[in-house]
């Protein structure tokens, strides 16, 4: 991935940080973006120490103008855009549908679904100029199945799956591949709100017998963007310790 350029949203923590580090390890220049400026700058420091090149750009993915600016600044600084991992996401409130707070519904849809749309909308035109590109949207096992009390998250992640398929069909012939990488439960700060009993229960739901690690997701994301995955597009790619195999 030498001389190639990757954007990663939500790269100040968890899965996004590991994806940014994995792109850099393959030689790509990385645009690290987040709303958490401290976390984002830490990721940049980690990459720059390793000898690869990264910059930080603040971007709230729920704001279309910031997603456009992120794509435009990337091309201004590095001259091109080859890969994007639309990863930023939040978990939202936990309640059954009839009690689900409407404010949290809108917040989750804005970040986890609208954010992916805004990012792709403004990334794809730059990729079309190169005649190629690869996008990975971070969905979830909850792109495929439900999870009681998480209706907004489940709806948003199912939406990401549909959006991924459509974009892959619309732009495949023009050299752009788009995939949905679906992690099961991964040990990141996103799970900090869960108590030990819940975490232990979640472990039992993964036939592999444990939760995943962010770097295990990052490996799949970078592969899906690489030329080795040249015929892989419009796909849901699980990284889930057999969660969905049950």
The catalytic residues are 153
Tell me the closest approach of the beta carbon of residue 218 to ligand NAD, in angstroms.
10
Tell me the closest approach of the beta carbon of residue 175 to ligand NAD, in angstroms.
26
Nearer to ligand NAD, 10 or 133 (CB): 10
User: Which one of residues 73, 75, 190, 232 is an interface residue with ligand NAD (CB under 6 A)?
Assistant: 190
Does 7 bind ligand NAD (CB under 6 A)? Our answer is no
Nearer to ligand NAD, 190 or 244 (CB): 190
Nearer to ligand NAD, 39 or 159 (CB): 39
Does 143 bind ligand NAD (CB under 6 A)? Our answer is no
Per CB under 6 A, which of residues 9..68 are in contact with ligand NAD? 9-10, 12-16, 34-36, 39, 59-62
Nearer to ligand NAD, 73 or 128 (CB): 73
Does 114 bind ligand NAD (CB under 6 A)? Our answer is no
How far apart, in whole angstroms, are the C-alpha atoms of residue 175 and residue 238?
23
Does 238 bind ligand NAD (CB under 6 A)? Our answer is no
Q: Which residues bind ligand NAD (CB under 6 A)?
A: 9-10, 12-16, 34-36, 39, 59-62, 87-90, 111, 138, 140, 183, 185-186, 188-191
């Amino acid at each position: 991935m030498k001389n190639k350029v990757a954007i990663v949203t939500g790269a100040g923590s968890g899965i996004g940080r590991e994806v940014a580090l994995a792109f850099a390890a393959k030689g790509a220049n990385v645009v690290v973006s987040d709303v958490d400026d401290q976390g984002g700058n830490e990721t940049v420091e980690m990459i720059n120490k390793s000898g690869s090149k990264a910059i930080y750009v603040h971007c709230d993915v729920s704001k279309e103008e910031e997603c456009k600016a992120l794509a435009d600044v990337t091309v201004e600084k590095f001259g091109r855009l080859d890969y994007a991992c639309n990863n930023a996401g939040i978990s939202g409130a936990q309640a059954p549908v009839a009690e689900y707070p409407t404010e949290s519904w809108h917040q989750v849809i804005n970040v986890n679904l609208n954010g992916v749309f805004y990012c792709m909308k403004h990334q794809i035109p730059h990729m079309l100029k190169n005649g190629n590109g690869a996008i990975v949207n971070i969905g979830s096992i909850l792109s495929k199945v439900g999870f009681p009390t998480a209706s907004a998250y489940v709806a948003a992640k199912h939406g990401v799956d549909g959006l991924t398929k459509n974009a892959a069909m619309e732009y495949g012939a023009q050299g752009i591949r788009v995939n949905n990488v679906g992690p099961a439960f991964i040990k990141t700060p996103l799970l900090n709100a869960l108590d030990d009993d819940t975490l232990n229960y979640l472990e039992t739901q993964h036939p592999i017998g444990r939760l995943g690690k962010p770097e295990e997701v990052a490996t799949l994301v970078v592969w899906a963007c690489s030329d080795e995955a040249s015929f892989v597009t419009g796909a849901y790619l699980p990284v889930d310790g057999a969660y969905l195999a049950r």
